[in-house]
Amino acid sequence: MSRLVWLVPLWCISLLGGCSSDEGFDLERSTDAPGEVSVTASSVTLPQGVAVGVRLRLHRSEDPENGEFTTAMRSTNPQIVQVWPTTERNTFVLCGASEGVASVTVLVEAQDDRTIAVVVDPPLRVTP
Amino acid sequence: MKMTLRLGIACSFGWLLNACPSDQAPLGTGELGKGDLRIVCADDDAVCASGATSLDAAFPIAVGASIQVVYDGPVPTSPTGGPSTMTIFSASPAMLSKDEASFVAWMPGVVALLARTQEGTVADFVHLTLASVQRLELDSSPEPLVVGGKKVWKVAPLGADGAVLAGSLSYTWEVEGTTVEIVESAGRSVQLSGKQPGTAILRVKTGGVVGEVTLTVEAP
């Protein structure tokens, strides 16, 4: 089966499901973190050196928790923000490595081999 | 029951074995609630002076100090089926860098330490507070130093709030005056011998911070 890649714009994510195609995500914080840390549906701000756990929530009629999807998250600039998977499903750790702004790409792969790629730009801000 | 106990004991030392199966009960002190990262007590760590073998992440670390950290908790399975090899790394090497088996604190602030597998999966993480040394406190036993006798002084690094800071620091010791001389120094301890009655100043330095104490040598 051919692999389709759908790019979902930032506004679609920000609207928390208000997207007409209903193809969006939001981020939610899964751990406490020290300092001025902000995790919204479409952006993360964290101080240098701080790590925060974030969970991806998929806005779809299908339940992303039911095993039909696997998610991945990649930083476009690991010098600024590093992204690591965890042992928890759909949960990642973001680390502020150095001051600056970076983006992440969110990949969701479904069982039917369809991949949805979401470029979130620029949601990751690392403060001094 | 016996098997459970044996497994529990083995997993208490999972950081040594790196072999605990991932279905063990979470230890829960890491921020993901899966495992624990602890500071190993070095001989010259002032916070560990009470005899502790390890510290949790809540203790502030002195800037300039080195620490060793171990991960204790469930280890995810590697693609080959065995337990993964765990690596501990700093979220910001500019703040806390890795130097072989140790980490060195370079600037004050809060920094995350993460335990991850070779494949890059984070098992858990903690945040450490790094604090500048503001003051060096010298302490010794109440017995007087007499001519011909010896006495040990110890230094403790204190942060801005007066709390003792953890980690191993390098110290430079010196005495001003001819009434005492340094027999030996190691880590945060120095041994002095009394040469003649009178006073002397014992001075210790680390990273630009100086602590000193005036001491008296008594006649025997």
Pair B126, B47 in one domain: yes
What's the pLDDT tens digit per position in B66-97?
A: 999 999 999 988 888 888 999 999 999 999 99
The answer on B54 and B161 residing in a single domain is no
Over 70: is that where the pLDDT of B22 sits? no
Q: Does A95 touch chain B (CB under 8 A)?
A: yes
Q: Closest Cα of chain A to B120: distance in Å? A: 7
For every residue of B8-53, which 3-state class applies, written as one string? HHHHHCHHHHCCCCCCCCCCCCCCCCCCEEEEECCCCCCHHHHCCC
Indicate if the pLDDT at residue B182 is higher than 80: yes
Domain boundary among B131, B162, B181: B131
Cβ distance of B22 and A87 shorter than 8 Å: yes
Last residue of a domain, one of B89, B108, B131: B131
Q: What single letter denotes the amino acid at residue B89?
A: F
Q: Please judge whether B127 and A48 are an interchain contact, meaning their C-beta atoms are less than 8 angstroms apart.
A: no
- Edge to edge, what strands does the sheet with B96-99 contain? B54-55, B36-40, B66-72, B102-105, B96-99
Do B142 and B90 have their domain in common? no
Task: Report the C-alpha gap between A120 and A107 in whole angstroms.
Answer: 11
Burial of A90 (0-12, 13-18, 19+ CB in 10 A): buried
In the prediction, which pLDDT does B95 show? 93
For residue A22, pLDDT over 70 is answered with no
Nearest CA in chain B to A72: B121
The two tokens of residue A56 are 């991806």
Q: Answer whether B191's CB lies under 8 Å from B152's CB.
A: yes
- What is the pLDDT, as a whole number, of residue B52? 83
**Are both B44 and B118 inside the same structural domain?**
yes
pLDDT given for residue B159 in this prediction? 96
Q: How far apart are CA B115 and CA B176, in angstroms?
A: 47
Q: Domain check: are B127 and B32 in the same one?
A: yes
Is any Cβ of chain A less than 8 angstroms from the Cβ of B31? yes
- pLDDT value, residue A125: 79
The whole-angstrom separation of Cα A94 and Cα B32 is: 13
**The CATH number of the domain where B87 resides is what?**
2.60.40.1380
Residue B97 shares a structural domain with residue B178: no
B96 touches chain A (CB under 8 A): yes
Neighbours of B146 (CB within 10 A): 16
A47 touches chain B (CB under 8 A): yes
Name the amino acid, one letter, at A15: L
Cβ distance of B127 and A98 shorter than 8 Å: no
Distance from CA of B49 to the nearest CA of A (A): 28
* Residue A122 and residue A102 in contact, taking contact as beta carbons nearer than 8 Å: yes
Indicate if B32 and B20 belong to the same structural domain: yes
CATH number, residue B143: 2.60.40.10
* Mean confidence (pLDDT) of chain A: 71
* CA nearest to A49, candidates A105, A104, A97: A97
Asked if residue B74 and residue B167 are part of one domain, the reply reads no
pLDDT, tens only, A39-61:
887 778 889 999 999 988 776 65
User: Which residues in chain A are closer than 8 Å to B112, comparing Cβ atoms?
Assistant: 49-51, 95
Say which residue, B167 or A104, is predicted with more confidence.
B167
Are B74 and B7 in the same domain? yes
Chain B contact set for A73 (CB, 8 A): none
> What residues in A contact B123, CB-CB < 8 Å?
86-87
Domain tally, chain B: 2
In chain B, helix, strand, coil percent, each to 5?
A: 10, 50, 40
pTM assigned to the model: 0.80
State the virtual CA torsion across A28, A29, A35, A38 in degrees, nearest 10. Answer: 0
Residues 6+ apart with CB under 8 A from B3: none
According to CATH, the topology of domain A5-127 is Immunoglobulin-like (2.60.40)
pLDDT number for residue A39: 83
| pLDDT above 80 (res A18) | no
Specify whether B32 is located in the same domain as B141: no
pLDDT at B173 over 50: yes
For residue B60, give the 3-state DSSP assignment. coil
Is residue B113 located within the same domain as residue B30?
Answer: yes
- B177-206 burial, b if ≥16 CB within 10 A, otherwise e? bebbeeeebebbbbebbbbeebebebbbbb
Domain that holds residue B146: 135-218
Whether pLDDT at B27 is above 60: no
Question: HSE (CB half, 13 Å, CA atoms) of B198?
Answer: 10
In the structure, what pLDDT confidence band is assigned to residue A116 with cuts at 50, 70 and 90?
A: low
Contact B127 A51 (CB under 8 A): yes
| Interface size, chain A vs chain B, as Cβ–Cβ contacts under 8 Å | 75
Max mean pLDDT range (A18-22, A55-59, A115-119, B213-217): B213-217
Q: How far apart are CA B132 and CA A103, in angstroms?
A: 33
The domain spans of chain A are: 5-127
